[in-house]
Amino acid sequence: MFRAKKRGLRSLRSVFLIVVVIFLIPLIVAVLVNNYFSPNPIYPKYDEVIEISKSSENGYIYFTSAEVIANRIYSNFIDASYVMYKPLSADKGRFLFDFDDARLKSPSHNYPHFTSLLKMNRDYIRVGLFAKAFSSGLTPKKNELAMPKQLQNNPDNSVSDNRNPSIIWVDWKSEILKSSEEVLSNIKKANESKYFIKYPFDKKQSSPVDVKICKALISVALVNCLVNVEMGNYTKAMEWLEEITHLALRCYENSIASESVIEVVKTVYAYLLLSPCLPKWFYSDLVCSLIETKEKLFTFPFYRRFELILLEMEYGFREEGNDNRRMSRIEQIFNSFANYRVVSKQLEEKGDLFLKASWDEVERSVLRGEGRVWNFLINTRDAIFSYYPHSIWSFSSGDYISRTVMNRNLSLVMIYTAILLALCKQYELLNGRFPNNIEETLRGVISDEEISWFLKHSSAVNESNKLIIRIYPLKLSEASKYLNYRLFKGYMGYLYSYFDNLEIELE
C-alpha cells in the first residue's frame, strides 16, 4: 500500500550540476565585477605620487619656505602699501592712483603690489639709481613718471624725499641682500631636489596641481638682481637670475598650465634689461642661460603634461566628487562611478595615443577639432553620464589640453622674446644703436625653424622711440581656423597687460 522512498547517493548528473553551479556563479560574479564594477585606475601612480610628495625627496617644501620668507622680506623691505589705487569703471577700468597715506584710510581699500608699480620705478632703473631711490622711500605725488626732470638731467643728484618711509633701515641695500640669502638657499634646494610635486592640492585653484610663483618671491628676485647689478655684484645677480628661472621651469614642468615662466620673464628679465649697469659679458651669459631654459622647455614631452591631467582627474574623482549640492548623495555616487568607468575604459583602449602624441599633433587635433586626440575626447564626451565632477568636463571638452598647448606656446615665445631683448641690448652696447632686423638678430642663436615659429607667434611694433614685442598663444594667420578659438579670447586679452613690460627704448 505504501511505496518506500529510495535512499542512497545522488546521481552523478545531480552532483555535476551542483558542482558547476557552486563554481560557475562566483566566476560569473567575478567577471561582472571586473568588467562593470572594478575599472582600472585613471592614474595608477596616484597613491605613489602622494607618498613621494610627503617624503623628504620632494623639493616643494623648500619652495613654500622660500615663498614664506620672501613674503616677510617683501613686507619689511619692498611693500608699497602707502600707495592706494581705485579702479574706476567710469574711466574705462583704468587704475587711478591716490598717494595719500593709506594707513589713514579704510582697510577695505585695495593696494597695488610692487610689480604693479614697477613702471613708476622704470626711469630710476634706466639710470642705475633704483636702489638709491627706492631705499629712500621716494614716491611720486601724482600719477606721472617717477623720474624727476632734474634727476634726468643730473643723475648724480641725491634723491630727496619729503615723506618718511614706513621703516627706517641702517643700510637698506645690505640688509635686504643679507635677508634674501635664505630665500636663495631654499630656491636652490628646491631646484636640486629629486621631485617637485605640489601637495596638498589647492581646491581653490582651477587646476589644483598647478605650482605658481607668488609675486613676493618674484619681487625679491628682481630687487636682488637690480641691487646687485647696481653695486657691481654681477655674479650674484646672475646667480639669482638663473635660480629663479630654473625654479619657474620646474613649476612649468610640474603643472598643467603654470604661468611662472611667463611671470618671471615679463617681470625680472624685462626690467633687469633696462639697467645700464650690465657689462657686455653679462648679456652673453644671460642668453646662454635662456637658451638652456628654452631647450628644456622645448623638449618637454606632451605625455608628461598628460600625466598631470590624469593626476588631477583622479584627484577630482576622489576629492571633488564627494560634494555637489545639485545632486543627491545617490546621484553623486552613481555619476562619479559611471564616469570614472567610462574614462578608465577609454584610456585602457586608446590611452597610448597620448603617450606618443607630439605637441604639434595635439595642437592641430584639439584646437582645430580634428585627429585622433579630438576623436578620443568626442567619444569620451558622448559616453559620460554628466559633467560630474568638474574635472570630467575639463578633460572631455578639451579644456585641459587646450590650456597646456597655450601655456607652452606662451612660455616658449616669452623665452624667445627675452633672448631677442638681450641680443638687442648687447648689440646697442657694441654698436651704439639697435639692430634693424629681428630675424637677422636671432639668426645663428636659434634655428631658422624656431625663428619662423617665433615670428608667427609675435609681432614687433615700432613706435617713436620704442620697440614693443607682442606675443600670442596661437599663430595669428591661423587663429580664425580654430574651432575652439572662443576659449582663447579672454586669454589673449589678458596678455595685453604684458606688453608694456616688454619694450625697449630706441635712441
Q: What is the Cα–Cα distance from 439 to 275, expressed in whole angstroms? A: 24
Task: Report the range of poorest mean pLDDT among 10-14, 86-90, 287-291, 450-454.
Answer: 86-90
23 grid coordinates: 563554481
Q: What's the chain's average pLDDT?
A: 77
Q: What is the Cα–Cα distance from 269 to 226, expressed in whole angstroms? A: 10
Integer-rounded Cα Rg, in Å, for the chain is 29
pLDDT band at 99 (very low <50, low <70, confident <90, very high): very low
What DSSP letter does each residue of 365-398 carry, written as one string? HHHHT-HHHHHHHHHHHHH-SS--SHHHHHHHTS
Q: What is the Cα–Cα distance from 369 to 351, expressed in whole angstroms? A: 18
Handedness of CA 312, 316, 319, 320 (dihedral sign): positive
| Prior bond of 389 cis (ω within 30°) | yes
- Helix, strand, or coil here: 482? coil
Q: What is the Cα–Cα distance from 131 to 172, expressed in whole angstroms? A: 9
Buried b (16+ CB within 10 A) or exposed e, 280-315: eebbebbbebbbebbeebbebebeebbbbbbbbbbb
DSSP secondary structure letter of residue 470: E
Residue-level length of the chain: 507
Handedness of CA 92, 95, 99, 101 (dihedral sign): positive
Q: What is the pLDDT of residue 196?
A: 96
Top-ranked range on mean pLDDT: pick from 137-146, 383-392, 393-402: 393-402
Instruction: Check: CB of residue 408 under 8 Å from CB of residue 262.
Output: no
Sheet containing 466-471: give its strands across.
458-463, 466-471, 503-505
What DSSP letter does each residue of 182-229 carry, written as one string? HHHHHHHHHHHSSB----S--TTSSSTT-----HHHHHHHHHHHHHHH
pLDDT at 385 over 70: yes
Q: What is the Cα–Cα distance from 254 to 419, expressed in whole angstroms? A: 24
Q: For residue 364, give the nearest of 245, 483, 247 by alpha carbon.
A: 483
Q: What is the torsion angle, in degrees rounded to the nearest 10, for the CA atoms of residue 114, residue 262, residue 258 and residue 408?
A: 170
Q: What is the pLDDT of residue 464?
A: 55
Query: Angle between the 302-318 and 329-350 helix axes, to the nearest 10 degrees?
Result: 160
Q: What is the Cα–Cα distance from 238 to 243, expressed in whole angstroms? A: 8
What are the pLDDT digits (tens) for 459-468? 877 665 667 7
Q: What is the pLDDT of residue 459?
A: 80
What are the pLDDT digits (tens) for 338-366? 888 888 888 888 888 888 899 999 988 87
What are the pLDDT digits (tens) for 370-379? 888 888 988 8
How would you classify the pairing of strands 458-463 and 95-98? unpaired
What are the pLDDT digits (tens) for 259-299? 999 999 989 998 999 899 999 899 999 999 999 999 999 99
Q: What is the Cα–Cα distance from 257 to 193, expressed in whole angstroms? A: 21
Cell 604661468 -> residue: 259
Q: What is the pLDDT of residue 283?
A: 94
What are the pLDDT digits (tens) for 20-75? 666 666 555 545 445 555 678 889 999 999 999 999 899 999 999 999 999 998 88
71 grid coordinates: 613674503
Instruction: Please tell me which residue, 162 or 304, carries the higher pLDDT value.
Output: 304
CB-CB neighbours of 156 under 10 Å: 7
Q: For residue 222, give the nearest of 197, 248, 202 by alpha carbon.
A: 248
